[in-house]
Amino acid sequence: MKSPLKSSMKVSVDLDTCDGNGVCMSLCHEVFDVREDGLHLLQEQPSSELRGLLKAAEVSCPTQAIVVED
């Protein structure tokens, strides 16, 4: 039986809206990485164990470029 904690979530970023300020990376470096050429998603379907960090990144994004779906 699959544990609900191991299920994945979907993360998307509107790269046209993202300004690369790095707030998301500081909150959840497991999923977000800001480099010289912009934001990179390290995982598009991370484990739900990261839910709290992902939701914090979503609401903290100053340009509201991040969407987290269960």
Mean pLDDT, residues 51-55 taken together: 97
pLDDT attached to residue 6: 56
The structural domain count of the chain equals: 1
Q: Is 41 helix (H, G, I), strand (E, B) or coil?
A: strand
In this predicted model, what pLDDT tens digit does every residue of 35-52 receive, in sequence order? 999 899 999 999 999 999
Q: Are strands 10-13 and 66-69 parallel, antiparallel or unpaired?
A: antiparallel
Name residue 18's amino acid.
C
Q: Which domain holds residue 58?
A: 4-69
pTM score: 0.86
Mean pLDDT, residues 11-23 taken together: 95
The CATH number of the domain holding residue 34 is 3.30.70.20
Report whether pLDDT(55) > 50: yes
